[in-house]
Chain A
Amino acid sequence: MKPKFTVNPVLIPVFIAAVFTAASYFAWFLRMPTYAETNTELIKSVAAANFKTAEFEVNGVVCLGTSKTFAKWLNELSGILSINTFTSDRFVEIGYDDSKVSADEMIISIEREVSADGEKLKPFSVMRYRASKDSEWVILRTNKKVEVDEL
Chain B
Amino acid sequence: MQAIRFIFQLFFIELILYHAVLFSLGESYKNCESYCPFGAVETFALFAQSGKFPCAVNELNYSIFAGVLLLTVFFKRAFCSWICPLGAVNELITRVRSYFIKYKPLAENIMKTLYSVKYILLAVILIATYRNYDLVFRPYCPYFTAFGLHGHTTVVLSYFILANALLATLFIKMGFCRTLCPFGAFLNVFNMKTVFKIYRDEGACVKCKLCDGACLAEIKVSESAKIENAGCTMCLSCVSACARNGALKVGL
Contacts and interface: CB of A to CB of B under 8 A. Distances in A.
Q: Are both chains from one complex?
A: yes
Interface string B60-103: 10111011001100110010001100000000000000000000
A64 interface: yes
B250 interface: yes
B153 to A, nearest CB: 9
A85 to B, nearest CB: 10
Given A1-B201, A12-B250, A87-B53, 13 more contacts: A1-B199, A2-B249, A3-B249, A6-B250, A9-B239, A12-B82, A13-B5, A23-B67, A30-B59, A32-B59, A64-B54, A90-B29, A145-B26
Interface stretch (A14-22, A42-50, A100-108, A115-123): A14-22
For the complex of A and B, list the 8 residue pairs with the smallest distance between their C-beta atoms, beginning with the closest: A3-B251, A145-B26, A1-B225, A23-B67, A143-B26, A5-B252, A88-B58, A27-B63
Nearest to A34: B53
A23 B1 contact: no
Contacts of A34: 52-53, 58
A13 B235 CA distance: 11
Contacts of A150: 152
B1 to A, nearest CB: 5
Contacts of A13: 4-5, 8, 82
Contacts of A8: 250
A145 B25 contact: yes
Contacts of B236: 9, 12
B27 interface: yes
Chain A binding surface, main DSSP class:
loop
B187 interface: no
Contact count band on B? 35 or more
B234 interface: yes
Contact count band on A? 35 or more
Q: Which of B25, B59, B66, B250 has the most CB of A within 10 A?
A: B59
Contacts of A144: 23, 26-29
Contacts of A24: 60, 63
B200 interface: yes
25 contacts: A1-B225, A2-B201, A2-B249, A3-B226, A3-B249, A4-B251, A5-B252, A6-B249, A6-B250, A7-B250, A11-B250, A12-B82, A12-B236, A12-B250, A16-B8, A16-B78, A16-B82, A20-B64, A27-B64, A87-B56, A87-B58, A88-B59, A88-B60, A144-B29, A145-B26
Contacts of A16: 8, 71, 78, 82-83
B134 to A, nearest CB: 8
Contact of A9 (B1, B23, B58, B59): B1
